[in-house]
Every structure is written in structure tokens, then in C-alpha cells.
Amino acid sequence: MKIEKIYKFLDGLSPFELQEKWDNSGLIVGSMSDEVECICLSLELDSEVIRNAPDKTLFITHHPLIFNAFKVLDFTKYPANIIKILAQKECAALAMHTNIDKTHLNRYVAEQVLQQKVVNSSDYICYFDTNMSFDELCLLISKKLDVQILKIVKSTEKIKRVALCTGSGGDLIEQVEADCFISGDLKYHSAVAAKENGLSLIDIGHFESERYFASILLEHLKNFPLKVIITDSKNPFEYFHSKK
């Protein structure tokens, strides 16, 4: 199947024109006329994922392989090393990043993973109502997302409205109108401001909140006349626990 046909399907599902100006969603490596024999869905692209996939695979990832322009292609360093392997295996790479954040990812995590009904949403923030204590909400999130360590700012005991942004949502804190904001990659100074403004925070991690990308797409591609596989991306971070 030609990449062009797959691209048109994905564009209908989550239009690429919705992406932010700084983003690089769309076809990144390959050409629309290329024929592919397999689709691999993954949060990220790394050398192990590519080497384990068949030749002529189209990799559809959430995070774009390339963000910035190159001045030098050093094939010993990321991401040029990945591009080299893709070319050698006649593979292609396509990303759906901020466009699918807006159309699918946030709502999926809220409704399908956390099992909460979204009552309102903007481009990157969706809201749901609850009637829990802050500690109860933390326990729910820990269980549903299978996250053992949560970084929190507890500003309120009772939570009635929750805002959610998957990935890295720290820059959106000032827009949040809720008792608690759930996101990843939250920074120290954002936490200080939130605490002073009475906003509770729960940092669920970037990887942990976006790892559902492949499952979302698989549901829409399951009837495609190509083999579609999911590769489980690995969190580059590990957690060190000191023994007392």
C-alpha cells in the first residue's frame, strides 16, 4: 500500500493542519509514493524498534523523529542514526503529535483509562468533575495509570473539578480553571505558583500519560488491509530507590 493512502486516512482521523506551528507532524522520512508492507505504532522511534521490524515498514509515532533543521548528519548520533537505519531497511516514519493531542489523546486518557466523563475541553485541556478528596484522586490515578510514584502539590483537600493534559502541560497552568491539574513534566516554579494560587498538581509523567497513543490508533487501523503491530516503547527513565 502506498503511504499516500495511509496518510489520507490519518488526516481524516486527526487533521495534520491542527498541529502547532512549531510541531513537525506528518511524513518525516520517506515519500508519499513509497510502498509499505507493514505499519508499526509506537510512542517513540529508537534503533531497537526499527531493527526488530520488517523491511518496508511505516512507523507511525506520537513524537516526531525530527524537530529541528540539521546542519550536519552525523550517523553516529541521534536522530541521524535512526534515519540511516530507516533508509537501509526501506522504511518510513510519520508522526501524529499535537494534532492527535487535540483530537484524541487527552479525552482517551480521561474517559477510557481514568474512566471519568469529560464535561468540557479545549485544545490541550479536558475537564471532568468528581467528588473525591485529593488523596482519593491520587490513589485512583496511581491504580488506573499503574504509576507507583506521583509527584504532587496538595493545595486543597476536596477536589470537585479536574483538568488533564497528557504529555508536558506545565505551560498551560495559568489557563487551568479547576481544583487540580494532572499532567507531566511539571516544573518547580510552576509548582510554587500553583501552590500560592490554590491549585493542586499531580505529575503523572510524560511517558506514562502518552503511552496510550498506539492503542488509540490501533483501534482505527484494525480493519486496514495491512498488518498493524504495536511496539511497546520503553521509558528512558528508571527510578532509583535507596535502601535505608
The reported pTM is 0.93
Closest CA to 94 of 53, 55, 69, 66: 66
Running along the chain, 244 residues long, what does each successive block of 10 average in pLDDT?
97 97 97 97 93 95 92 92 96 98 96 97 95 97 93 96 96 95 96 95 95 96 92 84 71
Tell which CATH classification among 3.30.2350.10, 3.40.50.300, 3.40.1390.30, 1.10.260.40 matches the domain 3-98+210-230. Answer: 3.40.1390.30
pLDDT at 232: 78
Residue recorded with cell 501524529: 96
3-state secondary structure 87-128: HHCCCEEEECCHHHHHHHHHHHHHHHHCCCCEEEECCCCEEE
pLDDT at 184: 95
Domain-by-domain residue ranges, the chain? 3-98+210-230, 106-209
Q: By the 8 A CB rule, do 92 and 59 touch?
A: yes
Closest CA to 212 of 164, 162, 153, 161: 164
| CATH superfamily, domain at 106-209 | NIF3 (NGG1p interacting factor 3)-like (3.40.1390.30)
Q: By the 8 A CB rule, do 3 and 92 touch?
A: yes
Closest CA to 208 of 141, 137, 134: 141
pLDDT at 148: 87
CA distance 83 to 7: 20
**DSSP assignments along 141-181, one per residue:** HHHHHT-S--EEE---SEEEEEEEEEEE-GGGGGG--SSEE
- What pairs with residue 61 in β-bridges? 42, 95
- What pairs with residue 60 in β-bridges? 41, 94
pLDDT at 244: 61
Q: Evaluate whether 3-98+210-230 and 106-209 have a shared fold.
A: yes
Q: By the 8 A CB rule, do 105 and 169 touch?
A: no
pLDDT at 76: 94
pLDDT at 78: 93
